[in-house]
Chains A and B, each alone.
Chain A
């Protein structure tokens, strides 16, 4: 018996798994970025199934919107092409793929073996913006304020790192590695 909830979970999960595998299979960064956007959109659907409506909206707006736009912008800015394979990366594939399968099987086995009989019910979670906002500004006020400092430092760091170095420091010209 497949309930509607389970069918939706399987559909969104299939999209997420396909996107994640496609991210590994593609060699051009822009294709990987589009796969990652598909994964994030599918995860937003999973969050809705879990009742976390505000998290789902923020996932689409912030993650699939803002952060991935930053990635795509950087890819286009740097004109990134198809990645080159080297001897080291072939060895990594040789050990990485069986390692991923083993790790996934181990996690699946542990989780399925030791899971209880409790289930996540559809719509059981009132994750509305009101509830989340009350939590953020009451119980988690101090971490919330600390993250604002983190954001401020990240902004300054990004501006300093991405800005061009001053032209006056020509006494030590930068060497180029081919």
Chain B
């Protein structure tokens, strides 16, 4: 029996690592991977809350059971769409500027 709070602490740590990577990393691809790490942290709390709701069933009337797990799929869909479009943008940026360092990508128009 693992308390719900343990899962939430792990989820929060992963999210904090993602935010830190988003802020301190300078490679645009690594920044993108930090966003994926944040989404994974959020997914963990979705699944943990779904399991928690299942354990305390009856107290929270009006909620669809296991909807937390379905939200994880929607988050995955958004992450996949974001990865496809974002990596295409990265390729377009690299084609015009020939750099992946975000410090040198500071103009919208060349």
CB distance from B52 to the nearest CB of A (A): 6
User: Do B76 and A43 touch (CB < 8 A)?
Assistant: no
What chain A residues lie within 8 Å of B81 (beta carbons)? 150-151, 153-154
Q: Which of B60-110 contact A (CB under 8 A)?
A: 64, 66-67, 69-70, 72-74, 76-85, 87-92, 94, 96-101, 103-104, 107, 110
In the complex, A158→B92 CA distance in Å?
10
Q: Which of A117-153 contact B (CB under 8 A)?
A: 118-122, 124-125, 127, 131-132, 135-136, 139-140, 143, 147, 150-151, 153
B interface residue numbers (CB < 8 A to A): 1-10, 12-14, 16-21, 23-27, 29-30, 32-34, 36-37, 40, 43-44, 47-48, 50-52, 54-56, 64, 66-67, 69-70, 72-74, 76-85, 87-92, 94, 96-101, 103-104, 107, 110
What chain B residues lie within 8 Å of A66 (beta carbons)? 80
User: Do A150 and B44 touch (CB < 8 A)?
Assistant: no
User: Do A46 and B32 touch (CB < 8 A)?
Assistant: no
- Cross-chain pair count, CB within 8 angstroms: 263
User: Do B14 and A51 touch (CB < 8 A)?
Assistant: no
User: Do B13 and A104 touch (CB < 8 A)?
Assistant: yes
User: Do B44 and A46 touch (CB < 8 A)?
Assistant: yes
Candidates A54, A74, A77, A120; contact of B48 at CB < 8 Å: A120
Interface residue range, chain A: 35 or more
In the complex, A16→B69 CA distance in Å?
20
Excluding A120-B2, A132-B70, 10 further A-B contacts by CB distance (< 8 Å) are A51-B54, A55-B72, A67-B83, A96-B20, A100-B19, A103-B19, A111-B9, A135-B66, A135-B67, A162-B87
Q: Is the interface of B mostly helix, strand, loop or mixed?
A: helix
Q: Is the interface of A mostly helix, strand, loop or mixed?
A: helix
User: Do B90 and A78 touch (CB < 8 A)?
Assistant: yes
User: Do B52 and A120 touch (CB < 8 A)?
Assistant: yes
Candidates A59, A83, A121; contact of B27 at CB < 8 Å: A83
What chain B residues lie within 8 Å of A160 (beta carbons)? 88
Q: Which of A65-80 contact B (CB under 8 A)?
A: 66-67, 70-71, 74-75, 77-78, 80
CB distance from A12 to the nearest CB of B (A): 9
In the complex with contacts A100-B20, A120-B51, A158-B84, A77-B91 CB distance below 8 A:
yes
In the complex with contacts A24-B20, A100-B16, A177-B110, A67-B9 CB distance below 8 A:
no
Candidates B24, B69, B96; contact of A127 at CB < 8 Å: B69
User: Do A177 and B21 touch (CB < 8 A)?
Assistant: no
Candidates B9, B14, B70; contact of A112 at CB < 8 Å: B9
